[in-house]
Amino acid sequence: MVNNIAIEKAKTSKIHEVDFDNLSFGSVYTDHMLVCDYKNGEWEAPKIVPYQPITLDPSAKIFHYGQSIFEGMKAYKDDDGKVFLFRPLENFKRLNKSAERLAIPQLPESFFMDGLHALIQLESDWIPTNAGSSLYIRPFIFASGTGFHASPANEYKFIIACAPSGSYFSGKVKVLIEETYSRAANGGVGYAKAGGNYAGQFYPTKLAADKGYQQVIWTDDNAHEYIEEAGAMNVFVRINDTLMTAPTNDRILDGITRKSILDIAKDEGIKTEVRKISVHELVEAAKNGSLKEMFGAGTAAVVSPISGFGYHGEEYELPELKDSYASMLKKRITDIQYNRAEDKFGWRYPVE
């Protein structure tokens, strides 16, 4: 354990300047952040300091070779004011999995968990209580060491910053099945939560937006034959009463919401399949009426329903369902997150 994490409190708080009834996602930041530096071959003790800009040398390797990873998670407050996280150890494990792939030093569990706990305790007043609101938490690590030579850095910085955010709801989205560009490749870094993965998505997503779509459905890097992810989220497909998602591999992020949905679906008695889903199968199911639902799954929105998709210049609309799997699964997850229901899985983590 990291005992007595050093805390430098902000001289004044910004909290009274914030309109908690009108919060956009991830654009207002709390008073403090956790900072931890890797120097001389080891991680130094984490500390909490006032939220502030970072000064870096122009030769810092983050700017040149992209050693940057991050996580996304949330803190929730129930009706009694108690604070909870959702499966934070999974975020820690995935952060270190990403770190290993990008040759970044592994972070000790106690630095992550104890530092996170101390920061959320300090910033608990920033957790909004409006329906659907939460405190978005962004842990990230990047190369701060200097040098123009192409090699891993010798210094890194781990930071946790927080942003109170309102209910994340964008309505149903229309997606375009990608036939040219790839999100990731076999043997690559698709399974890591690396910043560069997201940078590479922006251009194809812009091209899709120019055609009237909100997101793309990524397909495999070889023949673009199998669907893999929906924008920056894992994707689920319901054909008749079977809920399906692609298996994780080098190209697909092992989403925490994805795993939670699979467990809850099984608990509800829903038939699930984790297997390759071909574009041809999806199109045929849309044509014969057996395609009932598609939705993205991730931390920000939990579940993001898909209203239809485009492929080869054709449009395919999905039916409007009164009792959808998407709405049921989202409710079950959020009821656990906000301490409104029993947590039979042990996912809720109290911050006391």
Instruction: Output the CA torsion 296→297→300→301 (10° steps).
Output: 60
Asked if 206 and 154 sit in the same domain, the reply is: no
**Predicted confidence band at 3 (pLDDT cuts at 50, 70, 90)?**
low
Residue 231 DSSP SS3: coil
The CA distance from 248 to 346, in Å, is 23
Domain end (from 115, 140, 165): 165
Q: What is the pLDDT of residue 4?
A: 81
Q: What is the CATH number of the domain that holds 76?
A: 3.30.470.10
Q: Which of 119, 172, 170 is nearest to 300 (CA)?
A: 170
How many domains is the chain partitioned into structurally? 2
Asked if 115 and 196 sit in the same domain, the reply is: no
In a domain, residue 294? The reply is yes
Please answer whether residues 155 and 61 qualify as being in contact, where contact means their C-beta atoms are separated by less than 8 angstroms: no
Q: What is the pLDDT of residue 170?
A: 63
CA neighbours within 13 Å on the CB side: how many for 345? 20
Asked if 251 and 287 sit in the same domain, the reply is: yes
In a domain, residue 351? The reply is no
Asked if 13 and 53 sit in the same domain, the reply is: yes
Q: Which of 211, 103, 203, 97 is nearest to 156 (CA)?
A: 103
The CA distance from 347 to 337, in Å, is 8
- Res. 272: pLDDT tops 70: yes
Asked if 81 and 144 sit in the same domain, the reply is: yes
Asked if 122 and 187 sit in the same domain, the reply is: no
In a domain, residue 309? The reply is yes
Q: What is the pLDDT of residue 145?
A: 98
**Predicted confidence band at 40 (pLDDT cuts at 50, 70, 90)?**
very high
Q: What is the pLDDT of residue 195?
A: 96
The CA distance from 98 to 289, in Å, is 40
In a domain, residue 213? The reply is yes
Q: What percent of the chain has pLDDT over 70?
A: 99
* Full domain range(s) for residue 257: 173-336
- Res. 314: pLDDT tops 60: yes
Other beta carbons within 10 angstroms of residue 152's beta carbon come to: 15
The CA distance from 313 to 169, in Å, is 28
Asked if 178 and 74 sit in the same domain, the reply is: no
Q: What is the pLDDT of residue 92?
A: 98
Are β-strands 302-311 and 242-245 bridged in parallel, bridged antiparallel, or unpaired?
unpaired
Asked if 144 and 179 sit in the same domain, the reply is: no
DSSP H helices, 155-273, are 195-210, 256-267
pTM value is 0.96
The CA distance from 216 to 179, in Å, is 10
In a domain, residue 349? The reply is no
Q: Which of 175, 166, 168, 84 is nearest to 129 (CA)?
A: 166
DSSP H helices, the chain, are 62-65, 88-101, 109-122, 195-210, 256-267, 279-288, 325-337
Asked if 18 and 110 sit in the same domain, the reply is: yes
Q: What is the CATH number of the domain that holds 254?
A: 3.20.10.10
- Res. 1: pLDDT tops 60: no
Q: Which of 133, 149, 5 is nearest to 74 (CA)?
A: 133
Please answer whether residues 349 and 85 qualify as being in contact, where contact means their C-beta atoms are separated by less than 8 angstroms: yes
Q: Work out the angle at residue 125's Cα, subtended by the Cα atoms of residues 122 and 128, and round it to the nearest 5 degrees.
A: 130
Of the candidate ranges 120-124, 249-253, 289-293, the one whose mean pLDDT is the lowest: 249-253
In a domain, residue 347? The reply is no
DSSP H helices, 66-194, are 88-101, 109-122
Asked if 180 and 120 sit in the same domain, the reply is: no
Residue 209 DSSP SS3: helix
Asked if 92 and 16 sit in the same domain, the reply is: yes
Q: Please compute the mean of the pLDDT values over residues 314-328 and round it to a whole number.
A: 96
In a domain, residue 346? The reply is no
- Res. 61: pLDDT tops 90: yes
Domain end (from 135, 165, 195): 165
DSSP H helices, 217-289, are 256-267, 279-288
Tens digits of per-residue pLDDT, 186-236? Answer: 999 999 999 999 999 999 999 999 999 999 999 999 999 999 999 999 999
Asked if 22 and 117 sit in the same domain, the reply is: yes
In a domain, residue 199? The reply is yes
CA neighbours within 13 Å on the CB side: how many for 218? 30
Are β-strands 302-311 and 291-298 bridged in parallel, bridged antiparallel, or unpaired?
antiparallel
Domain end (from 131, 165, 199): 165
- Res. 94: pLDDT tops 90: yes
